[in-house]
Amino acid sequence: MTGEGGNMYTFIGSIAPTDPSKAPPGGTELASVRGVAKEWLAATMALFGLLSFSGLFFGAETLKTFEDQDIELAWRFAGFLSLAVGSAAGCTFFGTRAAHGWPPRFVKAKRQDETQRKSPRSAQQKIDQARMDLKVAMGLAGLAVLMILLTVLFVLFTQLEKPVPVTVQVFAPGEIENVLVCGKYASANADGISVTKPDGGLVINPWTEVGKVTAVKSC
C-alpha cells in the first residue's frame, strides 16, 4: 500500500477482530479433563477417608482376633488390607497428577549430545497424559474397592465358621481372688474347664478347685 509522499506501508497479520473470551482448543480440552479429574478425585478421597477412619478402629482388633485363631488367617487378612491400601495410594497419585499436572511425569531423556535439550510437551501430549492418568486412577480405585469388599467377605465367612475365642480368668474359691489361670477358653465338661494359656499350654481345672470364671478382654 502507498501512502503520502510515496512511502510504502506493509500490514502484517489479520485485521479480523478476535474474541478474547475464546481460549485455544488444546487449553480448553485440557482444562475440561482436569476439571473432571478434580471432581472425581474429591469424591474418591472422601470415600477412602471414610474407609480409613473405619479401618483405624476395627482393623487392628480384627487382626488380633485372627492371630488368636490362626496365624495363616491373620496373614491373609493383612494381605488383603495391604493391597487395598496400595491401590488407594496409587489412585491418589495418578488422580492428583490427572487433576493438577503434579507430581510431574518422570521421563528419562535420551541425549544424543550435550547440547540437546528436552523439548516441552505439546498441548495434545498433556491432554493424553491427563486422560491416561485418570483411567489408571479409576482402575486402581476399582481395585481398592474390590479388595475392601473381599476383606469384608473374608472376615464374615471366617468368623461365621469359627467364632471368636473368649479370654477368661479362672479363680480359686474364697473371698480373696486368686487367679489360677488366664487364657483362651477351650472347653468345659463335667470334669472341669479347659483353658489355653498365652504360651499355648492347655490347663484343665476341676470344678472342685474353681471358684468363678470371668470373661476379660486380655490377660
Mean pLDDT confidence for 195-201 = 85
pLDDT category at 9 given cuts 50, 70, 90 is: very low
Higher pLDDT, residue 96 or 104:
96
154 & 197 share domain:
no
Between 98-112, 137-151, 190-204, the lowest mean confidence (pLDDT) is in 98-112
Residue 127 near residue 30 (C-beta atoms within 8 A): yes
Distance from C-alpha of 149 to C-alpha of 198, rounded to nearest angstrom? 32
180 & 80 share domain:
no
* Domain CATH number, residue 185: 2.30.30
Question: 121-154, pLDDT tens digit by residue?
Answer: 678 888 899 999 999 999 999 999 999 899 888 8
128 & 45 share domain:
yes
130 & 195 share domain:
no
Q: What is the pLDDT of residue 197?
A: 87
pLDDT category at 161 given cuts 50, 70, 90 is: low
Q: Which of 45-49, 92-96, 194-198 has the highest mean pLDDT?
A: 92-96
Q: What is the pLDDT of residue 142?
A: 93
Q: What is the pLDDT of residue 83?
A: 92
Report helix, strand and coil shares of the chain as percent, to nearest 5: 55, 15, 30
Which helix (H) or strand (E) element contains residue 51? helix 25-69
Distance from C-alpha of 82 to C-alpha of 32, rounded to nearest angstrom? 34
Question: 22-75, pLDDT tens digit by residue?
Answer: 444 556 888 898 999 999 999 898 888 888 777 767 777 777 777 767 788 888
Any domain includes 151: yes
Distance from C-alpha of 35 to C-alpha of 33, rounded to nearest angstrom? 5
Higher pLDDT, residue 199 or 107:
199
171 & 151 share domain:
no
Please provide the average confidence, as pLDDT, over all residues in the chain: 78
Length of the chain counted residue by residue: 219
